[in-house]
Amino acid sequence: MKKDIHPEYNPKTPVRCACGNEFTIGSTAKSIEVEICSKCHPFYTGKQMLVDTAGRVERFRARKEKIAAKTEKKPRVKKPKTEKKVIAKQK
């Protein structure tokens, strides 16, 4: 292995979650900040929770309502079948 190319390993790197939970891990970073950890993640807690990052959930709901409104206003109408004109080949 080459010398002096590997990052420095910190065995006690603090990790802070948005929910307020703090714990330590080993990492090459000096500190880590996360949005979701095992204390607040729905998989581990069993509670369903929507994490709205930058209004994504609201934008999705607005798009969904907009599409629903369009489909309610214009119901699909089948067009009547038109007869195809057959052009006789001339010899």
Predicted TM-score (pTM) of the model is: 0.46
In a domain, 16, yes or no: yes
The burial class, CB within 10 Å (0-12 / 13-18 / 19+), for 41 is middle
Per-residue tens of pLDDT for the chain, all 91 residues: 788 898 999 999 999 998 899 999 999 999 999 988 888 887 777 776 666 667 788 888 899 998 888 776 656 677 777 766 666 665 5
- Which CATH number do you get for residue 38? 4.10.80.400
Q: Which amino acid is at 39?
A: K
Check residue 87 and report its DSSP letter: P
Total residue count of the chain as it appears in this document: 91
Check residue 37 and report its DSSP letter: -
In a domain, 34, yes or no: yes
Q: What is the pLDDT of residue 47?
A: 75
Q: What is the pLDDT of residue 51?
A: 63
In a domain, 80, yes or no: no
Rounded to an integer, what is the distance from CA 53 to the centroid of its chain? Answer: 9
Q: Whole-angstrom Cα distance, residue 9 to residue 31?
A: 12
In a domain, 3, yes or no: no
56 lies in which domain range?
10-64
Q: What is the pLDDT of residue 21?
A: 92
Q: What is the pLDDT of residue 73?
A: 60
